[in-house]
């Protein structure tokens, strides 16, 4: 499976996770929807769509959880007839990410959850500390950053704005 | 406490048994469990369900019929599983020196009560 990452420290933990959990697709993204790493996707439009939808689903589940339970729901699981998805946040020293995992009948929710816990530990251990204060993502930078990340993942030259 | 709890507790009371669980084969999630201290039920459930499903599919592909009893012997323990009546699989984790014959009889009895 092809794995591409914007941040190199993500690659080894993500590869191990995808192999162990027998995931078909995996996506690591910022809560804003910016992609950090992907496994199994062949089309950058699919990555963009999946990132936007995953970020929206995560935000929606978080708000629903606050209404229903007083705090954000963390993980989300949807099951289709052949494919299922698992969406859950990952906390690291570099901030929070969201991981979207798609799996089929070769795996199971139980296996994905177990190996996801290992992914969280591996990413937390591998994340280099932030050397300077993280700048908030501004709307004006979002598209430029998104383009840069997609270019890094799919190996095309970065487009200049 | 569920309808399965007495059956699982009876299995875990057998000498050398560390954990007994009822697991969903398709999801790999625990339905109910009786665990001794130090056992990770979620991990055992997910891996045992995956193993049982693979064994069932392999047996079918080899035209051997249904899987009756699955046993994994490892360096530091054994995993035994029975299922096939529904999506539920009964799993026992035991010491390497456990009496497997007895465990097998108890697992089939438990499977009857599950039906």
Between these two residues, B110 and A140, which has the higher pLDDT value?
B110
Task: Tell me the nearest-neighbour CA distance from B44 into chain A, angstroms.
Answer: 10
- Lowest pLDDT segment from A2-6, A46-50, A127-131: A127-131
B23: left (phi over 0), alpha (psi -120 to 50) or beta: beta
Name residues whose C-beta falls within 8 Å of residue B73's C-beta, 6 or more positions apart in sequence. Answer: B96
Please state the rounded mean pLDDT for residues A19-40: 93
Establish if A23 belongs to a structural domain. yes
B43 in contact with A, Cβ within 8 Å: yes
Please state the rounded mean pLDDT for residues A54-66: 93
B22 in contact with A, Cβ within 8 Å: no
pLDDT at A30: 93
Alpha carbon distance A108, B42 (integer Å): 12
- Structural contact between residues B93 and B71, judged by C-beta atoms closer than 8 angstroms: no
- Lowest pLDDT segment from A59-68, A109-118, A130-139: A130-139
pLDDT at A140: 66
Alpha carbon distance B94, B107 (integer Å): 13
pLDDT at A161: 38
Establish if A160 belongs to a structural domain. no
DSSP strand pairing (B70-74 vs B30-35): unpaired
Is the pLDDT confidence value at A119 over 90?
yes
Please state the rounded mean pLDDT for residues A48-69: 93
Contact B26 A107 (CB under 8 A): no
Cα distances from B17 to residues A2, A81, B13, B103, in angstroms, run: 43, 36, 7, 9
Establish if A86 belongs to a structural domain. yes
pLDDT at A139: 66
Please state the rounded mean pLDDT for residues A69-73: 91
pLDDT at A134: 52
A81 in contact with B, Cβ within 8 Å: no
- For chain B, the domains span 5-114
pLDDT at A133: 46
Please state the rounded mean pLDDT for residues B87-93: 94
DSSP strand pairing (A25-29 vs B88-94): unpaired
Name residues whose C-beta falls within 8 Å of residue B104's C-beta, 6 or more positions apart in sequence. Answer: B69, B80
pLDDT at A11: 92
Establish if A118 belongs to a structural domain. yes
- Structural contact between residues B65 and B84, judged by C-beta atoms closer than 8 angstroms: no
Contact B27 A109 (CB under 8 A): yes
Please state the rounded mean pLDDT for residues B59-69: 91
For A116, nearest residue in chain B (alpha carbons): B43
Environment class of A72 (CB within 10 Å of its CB; exposed 0-12, middle 13-18, buried 19+): middle
- pLDDT bin (cut points 50, 70, 90) of residue A31 is very high
pLDDT digits (tens, 9 = 90+) for A79-88: 999 999 999 9
Establish if A107 belongs to a structural domain. yes
Cα distances from B43 to residues A6, A84, A112, A147, A149, in angstroms, run: 31, 20, 10, 39, 35
Environment class of A99 (CB within 10 Å of its CB; exposed 0-12, middle 13-18, buried 19+): buried
Contact A107 B50 (CB under 8 A): yes
Which tokens go with A115? 């190996």
- pLDDT bin (cut points 50, 70, 90) of residue B2 is confident
**CATH for the stretch B5-114:** 3.30.450.30
Please state the rounded mean pLDDT for residues B102-107: 94
- Domain count within chain A: 1
In this prediction, does ipTM exceed 0.85? no
pLDDT at B38: 74
Q: Which residues of A touch B30 (CB under 8 A)?
A: 110
Give the global pTM: 0.81
A104 in contact with B, Cβ within 8 Å: no
Domain that holds residue A16: 3-129+136-154
Which tokens go with A148? 């840069």
Residue A82: CATH number of its domain: 3.30.450.30
Distance of CA B2 to the CA centre of its chain: 17
């Amino acid at each position: 499976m092809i794995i591409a990452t914007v941040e190199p420290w993500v690659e080894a933990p993500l590869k191990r996770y995808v192999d162990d959990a027998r995931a078909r697709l995996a996506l690591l993204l910022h809560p804003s929807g910016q992609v950090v790493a992907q496994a199994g996707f062949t089309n950058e439009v699919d990555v963009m769509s999946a990132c936007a939808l995953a970020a929206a689903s995560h935000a929606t589940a978080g708000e629903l959880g606050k209404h229903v339970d007083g705090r954000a729901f963390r993980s989300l699981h949807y099951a289709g007839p052949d494919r299922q998805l698992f969406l859950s946040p990952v906390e690291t020293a570099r901030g929070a990410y969201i991981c979207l995992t798609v799996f089929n009948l070769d795996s199971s929710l139980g296996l994905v959850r177990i190996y996801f816990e290992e992914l969280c530990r591996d990413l937390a251990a591998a994340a280099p500390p932030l050397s300077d204060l993280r700048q908030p993502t501004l709307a004006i930078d979002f598209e430029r950053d998104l383009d840069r990340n997609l270019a890094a993942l799919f190996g095309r030259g970065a487009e200049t704005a | 406490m569920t309808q399965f709890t007495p059956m699982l507790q009876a299995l875990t009371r057998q000498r050398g048994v560390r954990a007994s669980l009822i697991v969903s084969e398709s999801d790999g999630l625990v339905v109910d469990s009786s665990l001794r201290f130090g056992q990770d039920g979620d991990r055992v459930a997910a891996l045992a369900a995956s193993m049982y499903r693979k064994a069932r599919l392999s047996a079918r592909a080899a035209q051997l019929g249904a899987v009756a009893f699955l046993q994994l012997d490892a360096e530091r323990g054994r995993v035994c599983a029975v299922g096939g009546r529904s999506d539920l699989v009964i799993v026992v984790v035991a010491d390497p020196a456990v009496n497997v014959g007895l465990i097998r009889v108890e697992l089939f009895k438990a499977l009857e009560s599950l039906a």
